[in-house]
């Protein structure tokens, strides 16, 4: 009988994952990953409640339960990385880094060392022979967040929810009487619950007022409390008065200035060519040619011509221009249902 350690977050998805694997005959151990426990002003970190919920489901299912403490490594690998990227004026994705460094590296290694044969999570994705495939529920598909996982890690990973839609998962959890069946999905950054990125960053960086400038006229339109808090294409949070909406089209971290325009066709808002660095292929690098790409979670797939240079960096020539692709964010590449990998916008 194979031993599988299930990452249980206290939510419905990972609860059902554990239940299904037990039903399929695996020897299941639930594991709560203690990644972040810090409270923020006005927001209590829900980790203790989530841990209690995960524990209750484990008791319900009659499975062993453990806590793995990754808080120190998590702060270093995920949180510090995110803060540094924002300081450089980029737009990182901490969920992607969490999967790469914690769930499918630290957790996998610790589980195998502890006697597991496999790990499992409640991600909406499918895996087959170390190949990552999109979930059946395209609305919930999470392969965008998983593109930096290795093929080797995937050979030791199970994603039981990849075949189901979210409403079906809720129903299946209710049918089994799982304690978390009606629990709301967590929102916001992977480690700070309902706190927005601006509120989170402001705990770690100084708010430094600066100017909001019209890109076309160079006219001063207003002020902001830190260029670090703004990203390309952003419309809300700009205190620049009435009239047509303004969009962020650039910023200078050195001058602490944010540049805006009312012109939705401004060329800095649109990209026909995207260059990727820090490229990661789940298995082998693909040949040059046409592939589907996704520029952010839940964005529709778009066609692009892919070429790889001698350094391994990728250039994507888009068939249709894409709006607000910010440096630091990830672009993920697909061949049909298969998630090949991706890279970080230069």
The set of catalytic residues is: 98, 190
Angle 47-61/12-23 helices, nearest 10 degrees?
Answer: 20
Parallel, antiparallel, or unpaired for β 118-120 and 3-7?
Answer: parallel
Say how far apart CA 340 and CA 268 lie, in whole Å: 28
Please state, in angstroms and as integers, the Cα–Cα distance from residue 62 to each residue in 34, 152, 176, 323, following that order. 21, 30, 13, 49
Q: Is 293 exposed, middle or buried (0-12, 13-18, 19+ CB in 10 A)?
A: buried
Say how far apart CA 142 and CA 119 lie, in whole Å: 17
């Amino acid at each position: 009988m194979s031993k599988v350690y299930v990452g249980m977050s206290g939510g419905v998805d990972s609860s059902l994952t554990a239940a299904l694997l037990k039903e399929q005959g695996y020897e299941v151990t639930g594991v709560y990953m203690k990644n972040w426990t810090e409270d923020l002003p006005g927001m209590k970190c829900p980790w203790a409640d989530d841990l209690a919920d995960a524990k209750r489901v484990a008791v319900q299912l009659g499975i062993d339960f453990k806590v793995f403490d990754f808080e120190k490594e998590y702060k270093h690998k995920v949180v510090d990385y995110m803060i540094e990227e924002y300081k450089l004026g980029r737009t990182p994705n901490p969920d992607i880094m969490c999967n790469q460094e914690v769930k499918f590296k630290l957790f996998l290694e610790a589980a195998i060392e502890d006697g597991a044969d496999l790990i499992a999570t409640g991600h909406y994705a499918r895996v087959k022979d170390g190949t990552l495939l999109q979930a059946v529920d395209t609305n919930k598909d999470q392969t965008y967040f998983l593109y930096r996982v290795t093929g080797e890690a995937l050979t030791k990973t199970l994603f039981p929810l990849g075949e189901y839609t979210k409403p079906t998962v809720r129903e299946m959890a209710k049918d089994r009487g799982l304690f978390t069946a009606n629990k709301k999905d967590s929102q916001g950054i992977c480690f700070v619950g309902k706190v927005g990125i601006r509120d989170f960053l402001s705990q770690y960086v100084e708010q430094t007022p600066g100017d909001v400038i019209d890109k076309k006229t160079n006219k001063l339109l207003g002020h902001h409390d830190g260029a670090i808090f703004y990203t390309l294409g952003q419309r809300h949070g700009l205190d620049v008065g009435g009239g047509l909406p303004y969009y962020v089209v650039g910023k200078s971290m050195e001058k602490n200035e944010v540049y805006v325009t009312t012109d939705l066709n401004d060329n800095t808002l649109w990209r026909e060519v995207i260059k990727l660095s820090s490229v990661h292929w789940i298995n082998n690098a693909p040949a040059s040619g046409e592939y589907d790409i996704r520029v952010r979670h839940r964005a529709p797939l778009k066609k692009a011509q892919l070429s790889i240079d001698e350094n391994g960096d990728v250039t994507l020539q888009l068939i249709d221009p894409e709006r607000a692709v910010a440096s630091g964010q990830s672009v993920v590449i697909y061949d049909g249902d298969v998630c090949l990998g991706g890279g970080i916008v230069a």
